[in-house]
Amino acid sequence: MKKIIINSIIFLALVVLVAFVLKSNKEEMKQNVKLAQIEPDFIPVNTEPLTKRKIVKSFKVNGNLIPNKEVTVSSEMPGVIKAILIEDGVYVKSNQILARLDDQTIKATLDLAKANFDKIEKDKKRIENLFEAGGISQQDLDNIQLAHIKAKTDLISAEKAYNDTFIRAPFSGINDKRYIEKGSYVRGGDPLFDIVDVERMKMEVMVSENEIQQVELGMSVTITIQALGINQIEGTVSKIGVRSSQALTFPVEIKITNASKNLKSGMFGTAHFNFQSVDALAINRSVLVGSIKNPQVYIYQDSTAVLKNIDVGQRNDNYLEVVSGLNEGDLVITSGQINLVDGAKIRIKK
């Protein structure tokens, strides 16, 4: 009897427990339904109407400085280096003698050519006088004239060979590198010196196909050299390429005067191309959701965030010109974009 009573009590306890669990689950389900039916909060944002602003047409591109001119001086003829007349790293003037080849044999050949030419020139005058007097034939006159031409040609060749023993600078610049020593044997065409024009430098930059149309020969460009902290070096566009690279950019060459000699070949710099200002629809860079290559912004429409794809044109440090995708007066969302998705419910902060 006692066992039956205990079993009955346990059974009733289990029934009560099951009923309690079922009721709790039902209440939880009702609560979830109520939560699902609650309309989500509107995300607060700030907006600003799209208006026209003054945009300075400009762009900038990076590049490296290179010498305006540089050449490797070589020998026109083979020979032994007799003397080196300049030191490494010094400034040389145009046509200055840099080195000399051994000229002993060549000088002797030149002296012989001069003597032979002088003799034949005297013979030519004598025979011409005899011909006028009728003392010799036309053939004798022709022979001496031909000999005179040959002697003059030999003299010119000997003079050139002698002059080629003097190695000269083709233009003014720095002797940047020397390849020879006194007593070295060189062949015709062997490199002897590297001469670099440092009075003027140039920078070659690659300009996009959208911006190349604005670049003109002779226009001024401001150069910034990061290593020197110089912000206002003036350059001039000296060459505009007509063929693009595979990246659809065009080479533009800018010449720069290097009066201070502070600019060095290889230095990294930025070329700033500045044009006239225009009135244009513009947005602050900070409102962009995408990148400059894929620009997007959110605008406010009927309490909804609408994601817009736009095209941008001119740009300066803070603002971008809106070429298409937005209309004047559109309410551009200026803050809160990080929490938005297209179609999100929003409200404007008071």
Here the CATH number for the domain that contains residue 289 is: 2.40.420.20
85, 183: one domain: yes
**From the centroid of its chain, how far is CA 306?**
39
89, 148: one domain: yes
The total number of residues shown for the chain amounts to 350
Interatomic CA distance for residues 154 and 74, integer angstroms: 24
* Residue-level pLDDT at 140: 86
* Residue-level pLDDT at 149: 95
Long-range contacts of range 273-277, CB-CB < 8 Å, 24 or more positions apart? 273/58, 273/59, 273/60, 273/61, 273/207, 273/211, 273/214, 273/215, 273/219, 273/221, 274/56, 274/57, 274/58, 274/222, 275/56, 275/57, 275/58, 275/214, 276/56, 276/57, 277/54, 277/55, 277/56, 277/57
Residue 19 lies in a domain: no
Residue 26 lies in a domain: no
221, 184: one domain: no
Residue 172 lies in a domain: yes
* Residue-level pLDDT at 39: 46
The residue among 221, 243, 269 that closes a domain is 269
Residue 17 lies in a domain: no
* Residue-level pLDDT at 15: 54
Here the CATH number for the domain that contains residue 238 is: 2.40.30.170
Q: How many domains does the chain have?
A: 3
Residue 146's domain comprises: 70-192
96, 138: one domain: yes
112, 176: one domain: yes
Contact 174, 122 (CB under 8 A): no
110, 172: one domain: yes
The residue among 211, 236, 269 that closes a domain is 269
* Residue-level pLDDT at 321: 85
Contact 272, 58 (CB under 8 A): yes
Residue 95 lies in a domain: yes
Interatomic CA distance for residues 116 and 114, integer angstroms: 6
Contact 340, 301 (CB under 8 A): no
The set of residues, in sequence order, having a beta carbon less than 8 Å from that of 81 and lying 6+ positions away, is: 99, 100, 101, 102, 180, 181, 182, 183, 184, 185, 186
Q: What are the tens digits of pLDDT across the range 233-251? A: 899 999 999 998 888 899 9
* Residue-level pLDDT at 35: 39
Residue 319 lies in a domain: yes
Interatomic CA distance for residues 112 and 155, integer angstroms: 9
171, 96: one domain: yes
Helices then strands, each counted (H, E), the chain: 3, 19
97, 156: one domain: yes
* Residue-level pLDDT at 23: 59
Q: Tokens 């200055």 belong to which residue?
A: 96
Residue 29 lies in a domain: no
**Token pair in block for residue 36:** 């699902």
188, 75: one domain: yes
Interatomic CA distance for residues 243 and 252, integer angstroms: 11
Contact 177, 191 (CB under 8 A): no
* Residue-level pLDDT at 19: 57
329, 219: one domain: no
Residue 157 lies in a domain: yes
172, 96: one domain: yes
The residue among 192, 226, 246 that closes a domain is 192
Interatomic CA distance for residues 298 and 308, integer angstroms: 6
Measured between its terminal Cα atoms, the distance across the chain in Å is 77
Eight-class DSSP state of 39 = P
78, 184: one domain: yes
The set of residues, in sequence order, having a beta carbon less than 8 Å from that of 265 and lying 6+ positions away, is: 65, 66, 67, 70, 196, 198, 201
**From the centroid of its chain, how far is CA 62?**
5
**Token pair in block for residue 91:** 């400034």
Here the CATH number for the domain that contains residue 98 is: 2.40.50.100
Give the CA count within 13 Å in the CB-facing half-sphere of 262.
8
Give the residue among 219, 280, 304 at the shortest CA–CA distance from 255. Answer: 219
Ordered mean pLDDT values, 10 residues apiece, the chain (350 residues):
58 57 57 46 87 81 91 93 92 94 94 94 90 84 92 95 95 92 93 91 90 88 84 88 90 90 87 81 86 86 90 78 89 85 86
